[in-house]
Amino acid sequence: MSDAPTPYYRHHIFFCLNERTNGEYCCAQHGASEAFAHCKRRVKEAGLAGVGQVRVNKAGCMNRCAGAPVAVVYPEGVWYTYVDLADIDEIVDVHLRQGRVVERLLLAPEIGR
């Protein structure tokens, strides 16, 4: 039996940036674009960006709208909700840098659309 291949990225974080024009609750209404840009900048400044490290990506609807705004970190599949840029800083510093889940920002598993 062979060892599992090394992942291309150690962590991959996706930010839902979906915008709904029909008035439904969505991540775009809650600063998701700003949070995405801030995370991308922080990851780069911390020297965490690139192959074998961290990738920050935009995503469309991830169907967790009731918890908006949301982001998910893979390969762990850890879902976060956040309020401000300080929360994004904590995700970068604790999860993406140290590999520890930020418990207080976890999105409850039953939260969907």
CB of 62 closer than 8 Å to CB of 14: yes
Q: Encode pLDDT of 24-39 as tens digits.
A: 889 999 999 999 999 9
Q: What tens digit of pLDDT does each residue of 8-17 get?
A: 999 999 999 9
Contact in structure between 112 and 66 (CB atoms under 8 Å):
yes
Ranges of each domain in the chain: 11-105
Per the confidence metrics, is the pTM higher than 0.75?
Answer: yes
CATH architecture of structural domain 11-105:
3-Layer(aba) Sandwich (3.40)
Using the predicted structure, report yes or no on whether residue 21 has a pLDDT greater than 90. Answer: no
What is the number of residues in the chain? 113
106 secondary structure, DSSP code: B
Confirm if 26 and 70 have CB atoms less than 8 A apart: no
Helix (H) or strand (E) holding 38: helix 32-45
